[in-house]
């Protein structure tokens, strides 16, 4: 039973990382309507930006570095959209072309990371971990901070979508871009802000993944991308709240199962859930009309 509760604790940690990344991916998908296959590499690059600030040059505290690295990734995402993705999306009506471009972008970012940092495992500079007992859970201080960050981000996104003008415009655009444009919403501005949010969240998720895993490698984001996809699809592509629920479900399921079967099979547990979701609820648990 202790083992079970331990793994539930890890499940919440994984779900936190997943939730941040899945919501970031969903926000962008909802607005632009194509899938960003480079998202996993956005995460990795964000993690390496954090690494620069934390271990290579400024030697900042890890959480300050996470903030800085993620903002750098957010700005880069805006630039990539402005000068690469958005021109392709406007020129070709088929989403295939821009999807292939994100696929290519994924290769370019990954190999750029390899070129600068090589394939070796890197670690952040962090104070020594001490383990904390909370109820039945056994967690490190940083894992608790990760969960706190995730919950805060989710609440923040929720409040933004429900109460702010920006959030309302985003929801309107995600429902129907043309309609939003004709009703006076500045769709380009919203798209830019969305890419900034998506990139920043990718950066946070990538760094946090590096912290919880204890190391970072260039391909870490790409491998994690599938788990994000599983969470997003199970929740319903393009639905923010679906992404949150999917993250919780997949996060808990993979970690709890890892306590009882070979942990190498984590991914496959996520895949089995994905298959069942596709068979019985192909448009996701929280599918919205018009999407999925």
Partner 1 sequence: MSAMWYYVFTLVFFLFDYFILAMGLNIQYGETGILNFAYIGFVAVGAYVTGATSLPNAAGTGQQYILGWGLPFPLNLLLGGLAACLLAVFVALIALRRLRTDYLAVVLISVSLVLYDVINNYVPLFNGADGLYNVPEPFASVLKLTTNSFVPFFAALTGVVALLMWWVMSRITKSPLGRTLRAIRDDDGVAATLGKGVFRYQLTSMLIGSFYAGVGGGLIIQFGGSFNPTAWLPAETFVVFAVILVGGVGNNVGLLVGALLVETLLIHLPAFLPDIPGHPGLIEYIDTIVVGVLLMVMLWFRPQGVVPERVRRSPFSLATRSSKTLDDRAIIVPTNDGESTPVIQQETANG
CB atoms within 10 A of CB 23: 29
**Minimal distance in Å, beta carbon 210 to partner 1?**
20
| Residue with smaller CB distance to partner 1, 88 or 137 | 88
Label residues 166-179 b or e (16+ Cβ within 10 Å = b): eeebbebbbeebee
> Which residue pairs from 76-83 have beta carbons closer than 8 angstroms and sit at least 24 positions apart in sequence?
76/45, 76/199, 77/42, 77/195, 77/196, 77/198, 77/199, 77/200, 77/202, 78/192, 78/195, 78/196, 78/199, 80/105, 80/195, 81/191, 81/192, 81/195, 82/192
Q: How far apart are CA 192 and CA 267, in angstroms?
A: 33
**Minimal distance in Å, beta carbon 106 to partner 1?**
7
**Minimal distance in Å, beta carbon 82 to partner 1?**
15
**Minimal distance in Å, beta carbon 95 to partner 1?**
5
**Minimal distance in Å, beta carbon 124 to partner 1?**
23
| Residue with smaller CB distance to partner 1, 125 or 275 | 275
Task: Kindly list the residues in this chain that would bind partner 1 in the complex (CB under 8 A).
Answer: 33-35, 37, 84, 87-88, 91-92, 95-97, 99-101, 103-108, 110-112, 114-115, 118-119, 222-223, 225-226, 229-230, 232-233, 237, 262, 264-265, 267-268, 271, 274-275, 278-279, 282, 292
Q: How far apart are CA 247 and CA 231, in angstroms?
A: 5
**Minimal distance in Å, beta carbon 281 to partner 1?**
10
| Residue with smaller CB distance to partner 1, 66 or 249 | 249
Tokens (6 digits) for 27: 């926000």
44, 223 contact by CB (below 8 A) = no
| Residue with smaller CB distance to partner 1, 61 or 82 | 82
User: What does the DSSP 8-state code read for residue 286?
Assistant: T
**Minimal distance in Å, beta carbon 116 to partner 1?**
9
Contacts of 64 (CB under 8 A, 6+ apart): 53
Tokens (6 digits) for 71: 């903002």
């Amino acid at each position: 039973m202790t083992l079970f509760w331990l793994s539930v604790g890890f499940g919440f940690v994984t779900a936190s990382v997943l939730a941040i990344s899945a919501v970031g991916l969903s926000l962008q998908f909802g607005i632009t309507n194509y899938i960003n296959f480079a998202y996993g590499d956005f995460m990795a690059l964000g993690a390496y930006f954090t690494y620069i600030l934390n271990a290579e040059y400024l030697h900042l505290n890890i959480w300050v570095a996470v903030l800085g690295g993620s903002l750098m990734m957010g700005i880069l995402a805006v630039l990539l959209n402005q000068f690469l993705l958005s021109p392709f999306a406007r020129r070709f009506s088929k989403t295939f072309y821009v999807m292939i471009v994100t696929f290519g972008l994924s290769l370019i970012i990954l190999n750029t990371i390899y070129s600068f940092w090589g394939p070796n495992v890197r670690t952040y500079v962090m104070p020594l971990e001490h383990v904390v007992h909370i109820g039945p859970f056994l967690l490190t201080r940083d894992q608790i901070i990760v969960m706190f960050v995730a919950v805060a981000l989710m609440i923040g996104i929720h409040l933004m979508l429900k109460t702010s003008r920006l959030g309302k415009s985003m929801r309107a655009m995600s429902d129907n871009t043309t309609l939003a444009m004709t009703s006076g919403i500045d769709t380009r501005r919203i798209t830019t802000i969305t890419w900034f949010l998506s990139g920043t969240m990718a950066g946070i998720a990538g760094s946090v993944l590096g912290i919880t895993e204890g190391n970072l490698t260039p391909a870490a984001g790409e491998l994690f991308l599938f788990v994000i996809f599983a969470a997003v699809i199970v929740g319903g592509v393009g639905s923010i709240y679906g992404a949150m629920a999917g993250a919780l479900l997949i996060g808990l399921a993979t970690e709890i199962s890892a306590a009882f079967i070979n942990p190498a099979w984590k991914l496959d547990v996520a895949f089995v859930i994905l298959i069942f979701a596709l068979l019985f609820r192909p448009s996701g648990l929280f599918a919205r009309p018009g999407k999925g």
